[in-house]
Structure 1
Amino acid sequence: MNATDRTPADLLRSALAADPARPLVTFYDDATGERVELSVATFANWVAKTANLLQGDLAAEPGDRLALLLPAHWQTAVWLLACSSTGVVAEVGGDPAAADLVVSGPDTLDAARACGGERMALSLRPLGVRFPQPPEGFADYAVEVPGQGDQFAPFAPVDPAAPALVVGAGGPELSGAQTVERARADAAERGLTPGARLLSGLAYDTWDGLSAGLLAPLATGGSVVLCRHLDRLDPAALDKRRQTERVTALVTAPAS
């Protein structure tokens, strides 16, 4: 990663320039048996399409607030980087009633309806498939995103000093530059180096979860094995996954 990277979107661009073919996010859902692996290039393509959807169809502008009501999931990671690419503030677990737009999974649709702005729903089903029928009042992400452009350019440059990320209702507000700085510090504390492969079973509802599950590996040129419902694995199965995925660091409980 480059010292000049000032936002998470900058980190992704540097990763893409350095080695687009290497894995970046490997996602497991141990409730469904799903496994998805995204290279840097594939992940960046999803981010570009989502950023185009956000800036174009949803008419989001820098500084707008997006309540992100999604679990730890590869599509959540995509939305976080799309927000960083457009200058939209990602409020993870934020209040939909106070947000300009909301992105929701299937389990939070009722709460998401409190948002008076644009509403986007994700089925979170294996392979990112669409809902059998779009939830009333929501656009279906799986329907809207495929036709978006594969390249993204913001209408205005994103200010690294502007608000970028809030984790949890009432949580501290971080700029893009502060997010990168904290992610780099976490990577150093965990001993992550370029090529490191971190397995995280943490939820995305805390800074520790977001850092371990995406930002710290991205900041150091590593990758993440992101596991949802990891508590369903017994120790032997977890050890086998660590070996199969060539994991170099493991985070399965909140940092003390």
Structure 2
Amino acid sequence: MNASDRTPADLLRSALAADPGRPLITFYDDATGERVELSVATFANWVAKTSNLLQGDLAAEPGDRLALLLPAHWQSAVWLLAAASVGVTAEIGGDPADADLVVAGPDALAEARACGGERVALALRPLGGRFPQPPAGFADYAVEVPGQGDRFAPFAAVDPAAPALSVGGDVLTGAGLVERARADAARLGLAPGSRLLTGAGYDSWEGLSAGLYAPLAAGASVVLCRRLDQLPAAQLARRIESERVTVTTLLPVGDTGLEDSSNTGDDA
């Protein structure tokens, strides 16, 4: 991507300019059989709508802290880039009581009620479906986001030196996040056209990097598999073949990076 990119939002803009039609995230839920594929353009549209919801309806602004209580999921990736686009710090597994707003999945609603600010709930149903009954005290993301604008412009420029992500006790600025993502991409051997398969969660830097940031920084794509550990070996092998996977990072290892990766063939 462009050497001048200094925030996650910059990485997405560069990806959109380079090849909007290529796949960016292919998401599987191996408990439900769900498969969703988002091109760069489709993902960027979701990010723009979510950014407008965040900045407009939820009145978030640079420096605000967002407690993100979501699993590894394509909609979680959307929220991470939307927060970066507005200048909000995404706190992975953050304490809702200390946050300015909270975004939670269906398994974290009770915890999320501790937030005194805006609360958004995600049903995480196939195709981005809404809750059958909206949870009391929460805005239903699937109800609120479709009507948002398809283009986003921040009210204030995002500072690359400001905190963008808090995970596992580390706080990364936008520029620091981009630098680490590029380093991870190089270590993994990711290049434009690479397809990385990962089953890592979004509760660590390693999982976030493999499941979003490193492929984005490299012009690659990710096959993000929730509950991959439930997949028999034969089905995993078929998925690697059918998705034209070139690099696998099934689970994060240690604290130093993505060291359990392996190349499975030439880049697609």
Query: Normalised by the size of structure 2, how large is the TM-score?
Result: 0.94
| Structure 2 Cα separation of the partners of residues 57 and 18 of structure 1 | 31
| Structure 2 Cα separation of the partners of residues 22 and 245 of structure 1 | 13
Matched residue SS, 1:215 = helix
| Structure 1 Cα separation of the partners of residues 92 and 208 of structure 2 | 10
Deviation per residue, 1:58-111 (Å, 9 max, x gap): 000000000000000000000000001000000011110100000000000000
Report the CA distance between 1:15 and its aligned residue: 0.3
| Structure 2 Cα separation of the partners of residues 32 and 11 of structure 1 | 31
Moved >4 Å (runs of 4+)? none
CA RMSD of aligned residues (A): 0.6
| Structure 2 Cα separation of the partners of residues 207 and 76 of structure 1 | 14
Matched residue SS, 1:97 = helix
| Structure 1 Cα separation of the partners of residues 91 and 53 of structure 2 | 18
| Structure 1 Cα separation of the partners of residues 99 and 146 of structure 2 | 25
Question: Between the two proteins, what is the percent identity of the paired residues?
Answer: 78
Give the aligned partner of residue 77 of structure 2: 77
Give the aligned partner of residue 262 of structure 2: none
| Structure 1 Cα separation of the partners of residues 145 and 231 of structure 2 | 33
Matched residue SS, 1:35 = strand
The one-letter code sitting in structure 2 at the alignment partner of 1:9 is A
- What are the residue-to-residue correspondences of 1:34-45 with 2, within 5 Å? 34-45=34-45
Deviation per residue, 1:117-168 (Å, 9 max, x gap): 0000000011110001110110000000000000000001100000100014
| Structure 1 Cα separation of the partners of residues 97 and 106 of structure 2 | 18
Q: For the Cα contact (< 8 Å) 2:215–2:222, is it kept in 1? A: yes
Give the aligned partner of residue 53 of structure 1: 53
Report the CA distance between 1:195 and its aligned residue: 1.1
Query: Normalised by the size of structure 1, how large is the TM-score?
Result: 0.98
Gaps of 5+ in 2: 255-268
Deviation per residue, 1:164-219 (Å, 9 max, x gap): 00014xx1110000000000000011111111110010000000000000000000
Q: For the Cα contact (< 8 Å) 2:207–2:251, is it kept in 1? A: no
| Structure 2 Cα separation of the partners of residues 236 and 37 of structure 1 | 22
The one-letter code sitting in structure 2 at the alignment partner of 1:183 is A
Report the CA distance between 1:255 and its aligned residue: 2.0
Matched residue SS, 1:241 = helix
| Structure 1 Cα separation of the partners of residues 187 and 252 of structure 2 | 15
| Structure 2 Cα separation of the partners of residues 192 and 182 of structure 1 | 14
| Structure 1 Cα separation of the partners of residues 251 and 59 of structure 2 | 38
**Mean Cα deviation higher: 22-31 or 246-255:** 246-255
Matched residue SS, 2:31 = coil
The one-letter code sitting in structure 2 at the alignment partner of 1:104 is A
| Structure 1 Cα separation of the partners of residues 156 and 79 of structure 2 | 19
| Structure 1 Cα separation of the partners of residues 216 and 97 of structure 2 | 31
The one-letter code sitting in structure 2 at the alignment partner of 1:61 is E
Report the CA distance between 1:254 and its aligned residue: 1.7
Give the aligned partner of residue 176 of structure 2: 178
Matched residue SS, 1:185 = helix
Q: Does 1:197 align with 2:195?
A: yes
Give the aligned partner of residue 124 of structure 1: 124
Matched residue SS, 1:6 = coil
| Structure 1 Cα separation of the partners of residues 251 and 134 of structure 2 | 35
Report the CA distance between 1:253 and its aligned residue: 1.9
**Mean Cα deviation higher: 245-254 or 100-109:** 245-254
Question: Which residue of 226, 229, 250 maps to 1:228?
Answer: 226
Matched residue SS, 1:62 = coil
Question: Which residue of 231, 236, 239 maps to 1:238?
Answer: 236
The one-letter code sitting in structure 2 at the alignment partner of 1:233 is L
Matched residue SS, 1:44 = helix
Give the aligned partner of residue 138 of structure 1: 138
